[in-house]
Amino acid sequence: IELLKGTSVVSTISSYAYKGSNGSGSYNWTVPSNLSSGSDYVIRIKSTSNASITDTSDNFFTITK
């Protein structure tokens, strides 16, 4: 699980997260205090076993301080 600001990876949130039944898993995460504010953040999920399997948030979200 990666956090991107625009198109740049700013943080690896987790190297492994359980996908859950039928892909319905969830992951709790605390936003680090050192991230800059912005309205152009997205989350990207990548498979650890197949690099061609990836998905990115459909919309940007905002982080504010």
Give me the domain span that covers residue 50. Answer: 2-63
Alpha-carbon gap, residue 47 to 34, rounded angstroms: 27
Q: Residue 55 is inside which H or E element, if any? A: strand 54-56
Structural domains counted in the chain: 1
**What integer pLDDT is reported at residue 60 of this predicted model?**
98
Could you report the per-residue pLDDT of 12-48, keeping only the tens digit for each? 999 988 777 787 888 899 999 999 999 999 999 998 8
Give me the pLDDT at residue 43, please.
97
User: Model confidence at 52, in pLDDT bands (50, 70, 90)?
Assistant: very high
pTM for the full model?
Answer: 0.85
pLDDT for the residue numbered 13:
95
45: its two tokens: 């999920």
What is the rounded CA–CA span in Å between residue 15 and residue 32? Answer: 16
